[in-house]
A and B are shown apart, each in its own frame.
Chain A
Amino acid sequence: MTAQPVHGDGAALAIRGLRKAFGGVVAIDDVSFDVPAGTLTALIGPNGAGKSTLFNLLTNLYRTDAGTVTFFGTPLAGKTSDAIARLGLVRTFQTARVFPGMTVLENVLAGMHVSARSPIWAHAFADARARREERTMTRRAEALLDAIGLSAMRDRDATALPLGSQKLVELARAVIARPRVLLLDEPAAGLNDAETAQLARLLVAIHRSGTTVFVVEHNMSLVMGIADNVLVLDAGKLIASGSPADIQANAAVIEAYVGRATAVPT
């Protein structure tokens, strides 16, 4: 079955003819698809399919060889990664990249950098408005930590937490930036069953709050349970897309990819 990219004006992300090669290896080969606004879209595929490369291309961490990415109609070509984040496209990483030497609270606060408005001199002279902004940010961060059950850890060094909690901190750090689109790179990798269940509830809640979520994931039951749109990538090519039911019914996908992927313990 060939890919049936979804096209629509309401695309949060529109990817057209994207290509990236490392030396002779083509990691992403002429990939086109949309992530419709307001959906929870999942990208699946076996190891080495090019999923993380795709994320790095979307956020311009890698330079694309060809193709375009538009974000709510704005072309992302030539923009720096930080400018893309400020537009409202925020990502997490496959390995939880919390900032060492910063507490859990400080890590989450760092996520609010995009919305911080006070200039440096206002902070230096302890201007009332700057202090109020810091207090508001702290309250929001504490409320979020409370909601994900990490309040007790707020003053611990983030890297001292178990991996599952670190991934939650990283997720919180991205969510608190109030992105229009949240890119999640294998959020369930390394989590136990209880943590994965909590993650699923969180993702659904984030999605319901109006954020478009685009997630790369290995864990099939997680993806099939929460996604309303699934894309399948293999060897740099998009081979299928559709609803979870469509994908599960697609014999080729199951046989070649989903079956294999679920058999591989994450």
Chain B
Amino acid sequence: MDAALAITIGGLVQGSVFALVAIGFALVYRVTGTVNLAQGAFVVLGALTTYSFEQTLGWPAALAALAALAVAAIIGYLVAVCIFAPGLRRLPPSGMVMLTGGLLTLFEGAALLVWGSQPYQLPPFSGYQPVAIGGAKIPTQAFWDVGITAVVVVALWYVLQRTTFGKALRACAENPSAATLMGIDVERVRVFSYTAAAVLGALSGIAIGPVVSLQFDGGRFFTVYGFISVAIGGMGSFAGALLGGLGLGVLQQLGAAYVSSIFATTLAIALLIVTLVSRPNGLFGRGARREDNRAAAAHPIGVRTRIAPRTARIAFIAAAAVVALLPVFVGGGALSSLSIAGIVFIAVMGLDVLMGFAGQISLGHAAFVAIGGYGAAIATVRYGFPPLAGIAIGLVASLACAVVLSLITVRLRGIYMALATLAFGLLVDSLAVGLSELTGGPSGLTGVPHFSVGGYTFADARSNYYLVWGIALVVFVLLANVLRSDFGRALRAIRTDQTAALALGIDVPRYKLYAFLISAACASLAGSLYAYYFQFLSPDMVSTPRSLEYVTMLVIGGEGSLAGPLLGVLLLVILPTAIQPLNQAKTLFAGVVLVGGLLLLPQGILGVITAAIARKPARAAVHSTPPGSVPT
């Protein structure tokens, strides 16, 4: 009984911090309609800056905490002004999800450079001596954390309900264009809400710092749990965020204590998916904003200009020739990087079918790479299947998961779909770590054989290179053929205007399912090849941060082109291995590329190239048009 009380109190402490993060989420969501995936990064920022001020510089705890809040406010303000607000002006909602995902990666990368990869723990605010209540010993930090959350909730309620500024904020949340007409500076309210959310995040970090140890990439965890809290509670509802956070914290601690921590994670994510699907407004929620069906119509992301089929064919033949001849000139590490690039290219091409053509965002694509990889690895290592059968088993498992996930999420669109895929990715992450008897747990699965078929084993670097790129080329040609046909046009129609697509007889849910299956199959194939290539597979090779990397490669290369991913993959796989300093800052680089790409180069590198090619003949055509027939 005392144990149960202690666990429940532990859950309330954890939950009060989830609630603080969730309130930050709700604030930004209400004012801007954006799910700020970078919210958790501020938790880590708050805790680690406090640690540095307190332990490294020797400042008193209170001063260190205040200084950390100030740092979070400044950084939050700068991010809001330089990245978030411009993003809101330029990007569709789905683009904003990717942008904040990029910010999360950027923060993780920066934190890795500043604080390294070791965990940090703050000392408790008022000593280590617990207080005994009813036989249970409760650490004093518990009172601090619950108290801080209570104060924040009351203060926020006061500001929102009783001040003019709070009214302006609520007006922006209800109707931004009407608010503008009433003379409210919407931009300023948006920047304020983002900055306030950053400070709230940092405050949660300072509060939880003495309870759990934090490291550079801990932000992900808080983003996810904060988001689950707010989604369960009802997007944009502060009371929902509070209740959702507390409930999730208690559930998490009880589940972890009485069953297992993997069960607790699975339960939380399952709860999220169920809530997203059955009650998108949350369990206690006020209404979530409904997304306009045509929100994607203004989608500026992706390659807009297509090059002529003949030019495309010449470029393809040239690229294939380069791929075929490269091993003559390069070897060793470079050849190995190129092989890895080939594998990733297969996965990102699949993602392009889903995102660039069908317009569905997936933030959990690495999950299918993981299923394909572990399917192949487990089949060959544990059950002695030949490698080709391993690939097939991975494909079957991936397609089965894709069908189930699509059936569950068929009615979700836009950001909800993106978040459901993120949740699915996290679920697979936790299973890859948790089912250690099958997967080898966090340290990975060793002894995976090389790929072999018909008695020939692909053992050396060169044969593996040709295997990988041979498959990549075949996948490229098959997909290019499909996407050029009626099927590709149907997907592109769905991406830009679902209603108009329906009116032309396009079965939208069915085509979305097809796109999802194709992308899952590509990812699964890539995962199997990954396992055979490295003869090893560990969870971090195929976990959620990889999903964001794939999105980054796709966006910077140029969505909706199939060839764009190649440029993105080469940029993110080859460049860091070629330039050493970049290798250390790989995560930061990926984050900067995604954020910068979305804001400055939404057409991707390929989009810029094709636009430049298209401009020349277009000018010539205008000159050659006879006078009088030039359209006005």
Contacts and interface: CB of A to CB of B under 8 A. Distances in A.
A101 B502 contact: no
A162 B632 contact: yes
Interface stretch (B128-136, B416-424, B488-496, B526-534): B488-496
A82 interface: yes
B304 A109 contact: no
A97 to B, nearest CB: 4
Contacts of A99: 492-493, 496-497, 500
Contacts of B306: 103
Contact of B481 (A85, A103, A126): A126
A85 B505 contact: yes
Contacts of A91: 503
Interface residues of B, number: 37
B277 interface: no
A181 B632 CA distance: 33
A86 B485 CA distance: 19
B19 to A, nearest CB: 35
A111 B490 CA distance: 10
Nearest to A103: B306
Contact of A137 (B482, B486, B492): B486
A248 interface: no
B504 A113 contact: yes
B499 A61 contact: yes
Given A99-B493, A101-B302, A124 B504 contact: no
B492 A101 contact: yes
Contacts of B514: 120
A102 B506 contact: no
B560 interface: yes
A123 B505 contact: no
Interface in B321-379: none
Contacts of B489: 102, 106, 109-110, 113
A165 B481 CA distance: 30
B493 A102 contact: yes
Given A118-B485, A120-B487, A100 B297 contact: yes
Interface string A73-107: 00000001111011000111100010111110010
B493 A90 contact: no
A134 interface: yes
Among A80, A110, A137, A157, the one with the most B-chain Cβ atoms within 10 Å of its Cβ is A110
A135 to B, nearest CB: 11
Contacts of A177: 504-505
Contacts of B496: 99-102
B627 interface: no
Given A101-B492, A112-B486, A113-B489, A82 B302 contact: no
Nearest to B296: A100
B317 interface: no
B507 interface: yes
A19 to B, nearest CB: 22
A94 to B, nearest CB: 12
A85 B487 contact: no
B488 to A, nearest CB: 8
A134 B629 CA distance: 30
A166 interface: no
Interface in B432-491: 478-479, 481-482, 484-487, 489-490
A82 B482 contact: no
B41 interface: no
Contacts of A100: 297, 299, 496
A68 to B, nearest CB: 21
A134 B485 contact: yes
B631 interface: yes
A110 B632 CA distance: 26
Nearest to B514: A120
B142 interface: no
B103 interface: no
Among A92, A97, A103, A109, the one with the most B-chain Cβ atoms within 10 Å of its Cβ is A97
A130 interface: yes
A64 interface: no
Interface in B239-271: none
Contact of A113 (B478, B479, B495, B505): B505
A113 B506 contact: yes
A103 B306 CA distance: 9
B486 A113 contact: yes
A219 interface: no
A54 to B, nearest CB: 15
Interface string A127-165: 000100010010000000000000011000100001001
A123 B481 contact: yes
B112 to A, nearest CB: 37
Nearest to B479: A124
Interface string A169-190: 0000110010000000000000
Contacts of A229: none
B486 A134 contact: yes
A106 B560 CA distance: 15
B191 to A, nearest CB: 30
Nearest to B303: A101
Given A106-B489, A110-B490, A124 B482 contact: yes
B486 A85 contact: no
Contacts of B481: 123-126
Among B304, B489, B560, the one with the most A-chain Cβ atoms within 10 Å of its Cβ is B489
B487 A80 contact: no
A116 interface: yes
Interface string B551-581: 0000000001000000000000000000000
B506 A82 contact: yes
Contacts of B490: 110, 113
Interface string A188-199: 000000000000
Interface string A48-84: 0000000000010100000000000000000011110
Contacts of B482: 120, 123-124
A124 B518 CA distance: 12
A134 B487 CA distance: 11
Contacts of B478: 124-125
A82 B305 CA distance: 29
A118 B485 CA distance: 9
Interface in B268-314: 297, 299, 302, 304-306
B31 to A, nearest CB: 27
Given A97-B497, A123-B481, A82 B507 contact: yes
Among B305, B479, B503, B508, the one with the most A-chain Cβ atoms within 10 Å of its Cβ is B503
Contact of B504 (A125, A137, A173): A173
A232 B25 CA distance: 51
A114 B503 CA distance: 10
A59 B492 CA distance: 22
A61 B293 CA distance: 12
The 10 closest A-B pairs by CB, nearest first: A85-B505, A123-B485, A81-B502, A116-B486, A114-B505, A97-B500, A86-B505, A124-B478, A82-B502, A110-B489
Given A103-B306, A124-B482, 8 more contacts: A102-B492, A106-B492, A110-B504, A116-B486, A124-B481, A126-B481, A134-B486, A152-B631
Interface of B: 297, 299, 302, 304-306, 478-479, 481-482, 484-487, 489-490, 492-493, 495-497, 499-508, 514, 560, 625, 629, 631-632
26 contacts: A81-B503, A82-B501, A82-B502, A82-B503, A85-B505, A92-B503, A97-B497, A99-B492, A99-B493, A99-B500, A100-B496, A106-B489, A110-B490, A110-B493, A110-B504, A110-B506, A113-B486, A113-B505, A118-B486, A123-B481, A123-B485, A123-B487, A124-B479, A124-B482, A152-B625, A152-B629
Interface of A: 59, 61, 80-83, 85-86, 90-93, 97, 99-103, 106, 109-114, 116, 118, 120, 123-126, 130, 134, 137, 152-153, 157, 162, 165, 173-174, 177
